[in-house]
């Protein structure tokens, strides 16, 4: 399973969802790889802490390698780092990948990530890709490489408007590059059940026929502690409400 977490709007919880779903999959005994394709490196810092700054080789070196092909190129597995969590590995990002974007586009490297995942999938049961908040070369590469797309939504009217554009972008990738790409669903994040606006927005999305998942993620200060300590919720406090919501989301995505 190759899953991309995608929304071109920032602040919707892509990295948090990517890391926590990866942590649960690994905890379940699945060989799990998280690939951080965001120049902000949030997933990398979440799992590696300050060590993320010194991690090498990174995704930047991988993309540089694709631009400067040689007989001594490193295999895809060389970019995979183990984390302190059993069964959970990471290909870390680096801020320099943003500087490589125009070169990668001009050299038509849009399919390289897909080829690399094909090389890696024999070693992993689950591959999750965390993407930047933009519809650019990196998100397009991830959508081309993935089997399914999970869309975070943060119960905001601006997010709702961006959602329609996002769905169109995914449809375009499906039509032009990846006919097997499926939308797993829209996961509602930072949901406040007692507030009328998010409840109304979610219901309206459902009424429009959009694939809103049943599992919602609550707003919680606990997630800040999770980020600060570099511990996914299942390892920080497995009994916490938010941990149980991540578990519910994971189970819903894997119910078949």
pLDDT tens-digit map of 4-54: 999 998 888 999 999 999 999 999 999 999 999 999 999 999 999 988 989
Contacts of 55 (CB under 8 A, 6+ apart): 44, 48, 81, 92
Distances from the Cα of 79 to the Cα of 30, 59, 62, 90, 230, angstroms: 19, 7, 7, 8, 21
pLDDT of 69 over the 70 cut: no
How would residue 197 be classed by pLDDT, with cut points 50, 70 and 90?
confident
Q: Alpha helices of 71-136 — where are they, by DSSP H?
A: 97-106, 112-120
Beta-strand runs (E) in 120-180: 126-130, 148-153
Q: Left (φ > 0), alpha (ψ -120 to 50) or beta: where does 110 sit?
A: alpha
How would residue 71 be classed by pLDDT, with cut points 50, 70 and 90?
low
**Residue whose C-alpha is closest to residue 249's, from 5, 97, 21, 3:** 21
Q: Alpha helices of 49-156 — where are they, by DSSP H?
A: 59-67, 97-106, 112-120, 137-145
3-class secondary structure, 12: coil
Domain ranges of the chain: 2-253
Residue with tokens 């919880």: 13
Q: Report the C-alpha dihedral over residues 171, 173, 179, 184, rounded to 10 degrees.
A: -60
Q: Can you give the pTM of this predicted structure?
A: 0.95
Mean pLDDT of 70-97: 91
Q: What CATH number was assigned to the domain covering residues 2-253?
A: 3.40.50.300
């Amino acid at each position: 399973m190759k899953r991309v977490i995608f929304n071109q709007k920032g602040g919707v919880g892509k990295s948090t969802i990517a890391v926590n779903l990866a942590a649960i999959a690994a905890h379940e005994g699945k060989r799990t790889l998280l690939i951080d394709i965001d120049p902000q490196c949030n997933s990398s810092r979440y799992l590696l802490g300050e060590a993320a700054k010194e991690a090498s080789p990174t995704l930047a070196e991988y993309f540089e390698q694709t631009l400067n092909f040689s007989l001594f190129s490193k295999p895809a597995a060389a970019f995979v780092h183990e984390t302190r969590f059993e069964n959970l590995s990471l290909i870390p990002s680096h801020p320099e990948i943003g500087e490589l974007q125009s070169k990668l586009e001009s050299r038509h490297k849009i399919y390289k990530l897909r080829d690399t995942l094909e090389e890696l999938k024999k070693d992993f049961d689950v591959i999750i890709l965390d993407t930047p908040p933009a519809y650019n070369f990196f998100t397009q590469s991830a959508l081309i490489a993935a089997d399914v797309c999970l869309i975070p939504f943060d119960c905001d009217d601006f997010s709702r408007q961006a959602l329609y554009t996002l769905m169109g972008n995914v449809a375009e990738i499906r039509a032009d590059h990846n006919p097997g790409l499926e939308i797993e669903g829209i996961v509602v994040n930072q949901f406040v059940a007692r507030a009328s606006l998010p409840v109304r927005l979610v219901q309206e999305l459902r009424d429009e026929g959009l694939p809103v998942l049943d599992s919602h993620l609550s707003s919680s200060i606990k997630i800040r502690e999770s980020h600060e300590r570099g511990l996914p919720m299942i390892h920080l406090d497995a009994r916490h409400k938010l941990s149980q919501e991540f578990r519910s989301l994971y189970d819903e995505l894997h119910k078949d």
